[in-house]
Amino acid sequence: MSVGLLNSYVSPVNQNRMHVIGTVANFDQRAASPLDVAHQGTVFVALDARLHARFSGGTPVGEWIVSRRVNGDWPLDPWPNTGWRFSDEASARAAYQTMRQHVLSRLHGAQPHDDRSPARGLVDPSSAWGEAFYVQGQEALYLSCDRGTEAKVLTSITDRLESFEIAGSNGGEGAVYSTQTAPHLVAITTGQGGLIEHLLVAFTPANELQAVAAGLPGSDLDTEPFEIDVPSGILVLSWGRLDGRGWTAQAPGQDPAAIIAHQIGNTVARPLPTPWTTTPDAPHAWGLRVRPGRYIVGLRFLETAQGISGMAMSHTQAAPLWPDLVGESAAAAPPNLAAAAAASHAAAAQIAAGAGGDEDPLVFPGQRLARLSDYVRLMKGMQRGDMNGALQAAGMDMASYGAAAGAWGMRMSQDPVLMNKFTAMMAKP
């Protein structure tokens, strides 16, 4: 199956195709500071740009967290009801001492050992308390009292995919996706006005690009869906470690959505600069031009040899891409597929009559992917499964590909004739 676009001009038979724009990463060993290690493998977040500007990410805040990790079946229940999140250090340390005494009273002969090594993932090892308790040479549990970050809290409370409220936003919510440590594929479809209407962030251990590009047909909805608002039309997808307040630090008083929109430029999607921009193989954040409004969010799972899971987002009034992920408003107002098919058929007729112009148009003069054939060549290379090899052959990296793919997606969503030429060229051997 070709790697195509879903937009308002694609006929119903092609409704289940997406456009893989690149990857997003949630860790990079080469850029790892102790704070980065503390957030290894933590969550992705998807937020309206104005909400993301309030998100503190991995920056330590005034909150403190007491946590425990029990290894095995030990007689420790019931635990003291101390709570685990504290707004001041003194209360957190008091709770830690209470839990510590509980462990020592229940596990006779347990030997506590101070352990604040990087492997423990502490946010602030110099200030934290962290002990491993051993019984007959076996680690029974690890207990810690550490400074908190918004990302670490989300990691602790997120069961795969959930909504969460942004502090100080008067009820504004985003989506938080708890997943594996690896670059994830990012796929989109465009629709009304060339804007993104569907988004998929997929973890695929076997790099099953074609299944993701196809929209994970046959996948199941694996969580209870929920809705979030993206009123600005600018969505930020990022590693939860990223402090969103940094976007506006250099431009106080400006609309955060406008700042991100300026960075995206005239494309629909572009990687955003982060403190780790120069080192990773994949960006840690994307700015996305989406159709403003409400989005329904759910976790999808496709049964393959190694499995594919992903966070799926769909505009509630868009043509449904996943039948089991449909908002109430979309159910009440079914998409006008007839109009979409008519536009596509009209474009095909124009080409057949010889009025379609150059079969291989020059769309972006002076750019790497200037002609349609350049873009198709890259898409076919990626379709064969060697994403890195295809990018190298085109003289591109993931960041430049993301910008170019977004530009091609917007242009084709606005030009049904170009879309039909693309579809025909992709179908040729």
Q: What is the pLDDT of residues 357-377, one digit of tens each?
A: 788 989 999 888 899 999 888
151 and 240 in contact (C-beta within 8 Å)?
Answer: yes
DSSP β-ladder status, 293-302 and 226-230: antiparallel
pLDDT one-digit tens code per residue, 189-232:
998 778 999 999 999 999 898 899 999 999 999 999 999 999 99
Distance CA(315)–CA(198), nearest Å, equals 7
* Distances in whole angstroms, Cα of residue 301 to Cα of each of 325, 356, 388: 13, 41, 25
Are 293 and 382 in a shared domain?
Answer: yes
3 in any annotated domain:
no
pLDDT mean over 78-82: 94
As given in the structure block, the two tokens for residue 326 are 């449909």
Residue 2 pLDDT > 70, yes or no? Answer: no
Phi, psi of 46 (to 5 degrees): -130, 115
Query: Final residue of a domain: which of 85, 120, 148?
Result: 148
Look up residue 4 and give its amino acid. Answer: G
pLDDT mean over 174-184: 92
Binned at pLDDT 50, 70 and 90, residue 92 comes out as very high
Q: Nearest to residue 157, comparing CAs of 95, 85, 244, 229?
A: 85
- Least confident stretch, 35-44, 185-194, 211-220, 348-357: 348-357
Q: Nearest to residue 158, comparing CAs of 297, 33, 290, 305?
A: 297
Binned at pLDDT 50, 70 and 90, residue 404 comes out as confident
Are 81 and 32 in a shared domain?
Answer: no
1 in any annotated domain:
no
Q: Nearest to residue 310, comparing CAs of 197, 196, 205?
A: 205
Residue 10 pLDDT > 50, yes or no? Answer: no
Are 225 and 318 in a shared domain?
Answer: yes
Return mean pLDDT, the chain. 83
pLDDT mean over 31-57: 84
pLDDT one-digit tens code per residue, 237-265:
999 989 998 877 667 778 899 889 888 88
Are 378 and 237 in a shared domain?
Answer: yes
- Tell me the helices (H) and strands (E) count for the chain, helix number first: 13, 18
HSE of 74, CA atoms in CB hemisphere, 13 A:
24
7 in any annotated domain:
no
Are 16 and 106 in a shared domain?
Answer: no
102 in any annotated domain:
yes
Binned at pLDDT 50, 70 and 90, residue 127 comes out as very high
128 and 106 in contact (C-beta within 8 Å)?
Answer: no
Are 160 and 134 in a shared domain?
Answer: no
Q: Nearest to residue 241, comparing CAs of 52, 63, 66?
A: 52
Are 143 and 161 in a shared domain?
Answer: no
State the sign of the Cα–Cα–Cα–Cα dihedral 107, 108, 109, 111: positive
Helix (H, G, I), strand (E, B) or coil at 347: helix
Are 402 and 283 in a shared domain?
Answer: yes
Cross-strand partners of 68: 143
Binned at pLDDT 50, 70 and 90, residue 5 comes out as very low
Are 159 and 287 in a shared domain?
Answer: yes
Q: Nearest to residue 423, comparing CAs of 345, 318, 319, 335?
A: 345
Helix (H, G, I), strand (E, B) or coil at 339: helix
pLDDT mean over 413-424: 76
286 in any annotated domain:
yes
Are 360 and 382 in a shared domain?
Answer: yes
Number of domains in the chain: 2
* Distances in whole angstroms, Cα of residue 326 to Cα of each of 166, 294, 303, 314: 25, 11, 22, 8
Query: Final residue of a domain: which of 99, 116, 148?
Result: 148
Evaluate if pTM is beyond 0.85.
no
Distance CA(111)–CA(144), nearest Å, equals 15
State the sign of the Cα–Cα–Cα–Cα dihedral 313, 317, 318, 319: positive
pLDDT one-digit tens code per residue, 186-198:
999 998 778 999 9
CA 304, chain centre distance (Å): 21
Are 141 and 166 in a shared domain?
Answer: no
Residue 131 pLDDT > 60, yes or no? Answer: yes
As given in the structure block, the two tokens for residue 15 are 């409704």
72 in any annotated domain:
yes
391 and 401 in contact (C-beta within 8 Å)?
Answer: yes
Binned at pLDDT 50, 70 and 90, residue 136 comes out as very high
pLDDT of residue 59: 87
- 368 burial class (0-12, 13-18, 19+ CB within 10 angstroms)? middle
Containing structural domain, residue 220: 12-58+154-427
Residue 356 pLDDT > 50, yes or no? Answer: yes
Query: Final residue of a domain: which of 148, 183, 208?
Result: 148
Are 294 and 366 in a shared domain?
Answer: yes
